[in-house]
Amino acid sequence: MRKPVIIGVGLTPVGEHWRLALRDLAVEALLNAMEDAGVDKVDSLYVGNMASGSFVEQENLGALIADWAGLGNIPAVKVEAACASGGAAVQEGVKAVMSGLEDVVAVVGVEKMTDAWPSDATRYLAYAADAEWELFHGVSFVALNALVMRLYMKEYGYTEEDLALFAVNAHANGAKNPYAMFKKPITVETVMKSPYVADPLKLFDASPIADGAAAVIITTEEKAKEFVDKAKMVEVAGMGRAIDTINLANRKEFLFLRAAKVAAERAYKMAGIEVKDIDFFEVHDAFTVMAALSLESIGAAERGKGAMLAKEGQIAIDGDYPIQTLGGLKARGHPVGATGVYQTVEAVWQLRGEAPNQVPDAEIGLTQNIGGTGSNITVTILRRV
């Protein structure tokens, strides 16, 4: 099989982009990535996006973005896996390159969320849940995560303050990221003083609604030499993806992300590594409790010990398990379908040694992107070439 490498990255800041449309964001990120890679044409485009039809009444994003970016009559499709759409789009791009069918592939993740009224945005996000058996009852996506958070605290004896440490870490790191939505450090008190959105989950336990786009250019190791120096190449060493029940109530376990475990095991096997080899983790902290569960499910912590890593300071840049090195979903922001691609871009920065919040000597990084309440998860391993 051909070795896939990322040779270019591009992105927009995450934020409330009132002046920019979905297509503007996507094209900006995409052209930046192509410039970074030194390519002027690509063989195909994969667009990670969760809910453009609901948020901006626009589907057919493959045609829209390839057309507006001037990419010609190439194949282009949208990839949807709820909030894991970005991670899934990256993996589809990698598969196309590995298969030999396409040599230079562009992946862009984009979401334009702030054009929608907040309670409508809450509704559209809940479309990632089970519409007939969850949304029907008036549950929001935040509320589903709150149900898990309450159980997690009871089962393992953690407090709301303990979980707030994940938000504090994310904001500390996001403060160094010029592309992050929130560039201000916070304290546990900030989290505790924020209002309940769905008890016991508070506003600062949750990632913000935002707009943004991020892009990567993927090619083979052989072909990469035509465009960039080795220092700019990052290998996609392993990847895995799995689903779990879409309906949280139907889950066999509420406190373990089975899909993350399966996806991570596949990715480790493909990369030929173990979790101890990984230098940093960009896990999906859409909600603080999900950061804890993610660390446990991918094997970085034992069950019930994910939040202990935060309490012991091990999730900081200088800890043994640095996470959310550029702010994560919590501080960088979470334009849902774009998030997995932002994680990929940030991992590439770390592995090229270009991150504003650099993990020293980072060789291997992991990105983990969750769709639904753990129902659709991607894990990707990136390695310095």
Chain residues in the site for other proteins (CB under 8 A): 117-120, 122-123, 126, 132-140, 142-143, 146-148, 150-151, 154, 195-201, 245, 247-250, 254
Q: Which is nearer to other proteins, 152 or 281 (CB)?
A: 152
Helix (H, G, I), strand (E, B) or coil at 52: helix
Specify the DSSP class assigned to residue 334. -
Between CA 370 and CA 87 the distance in angstroms is 9
Outline where the chain has alpha helix (H): 22-37, 52-55, 61-68, 85-99, 118-126, 141-156, 160-174, 188-193, 221-224, 258-271, 288-297, 306-311, 328-332, 339-352
| Token pair listed for 16 | 């409330």
Q: What are phi and psi of 141, to 5 degrees?
A: -65, -35
Q: Which is nearer to other proteins, 121 or 359 (CB)?
A: 121
Half-sphere exposure of 42 (CA within 13 A, CB side): 33
Q: Among candidates 3, 11, 1, 2, which has minimal Cα distance to 344?
A: 11
Specify the amino acid at residue 140. S
Between CA 207 and CA 291 the distance in angstroms is 11
Instruction: Assess whether 284 carries a catalytic annotation.
Output: no
Q: Which is nearer to other proteins, 196 or 231 (CB)?
A: 196
- Select which of 17, 171, 284, 334 is catalytic: 334
Specify the amino acid at residue 233. M
Helix (H, G, I), strand (E, B) or coil at 256: coil
- With b for 16 or more beta-carbon neighbours within 10 A and e for fewer, the 318-330 pattern comes to ebebbbbbbbbbb
Between CA 360 and CA 221 the distance in angstroms is 25
Between CA 385 and CA 217 the distance in angstroms is 15
- The DSSP-derived string for 95-161 is HHHHHTS-SSEEEEEEEE-TTS-HHHHHHHHHTTS-TTTTGGGT--HHHHHHHHHHHHHHHHT--HH
- Select which of 17, 83, 171, 284 is catalytic: 83
Instruction: Assess whether 83 carries a catalytic annotation.
Output: yes
Q: Which is nearer to other proteins, 76 or 198 (CB)?
A: 198
Q: Which is nearer to other proteins, 40 or 132 (CB)?
A: 132
Task: Tell me the β-bridge partners of 185.
Answer: none
Q: Which is nearer to other proteins, 11 or 255 (CB)?
A: 255
Considering the complex, what minimum distance in angstroms separates the CB of residue 144 from other proteins?
Answer: 8
Considering the complex, what minimum distance in angstroms separates the CB of residue 215 from other proteins?
Answer: 31
Considering the complex, what minimum distance in angstroms separates the CB of residue 198 from other proteins?
Answer: 4
Between CA 135 and CA 130 the distance in angstroms is 6
Q: Which is nearer to other proteins, 135 or 351 (CB)?
A: 135
Catalytic residues: 83, 334
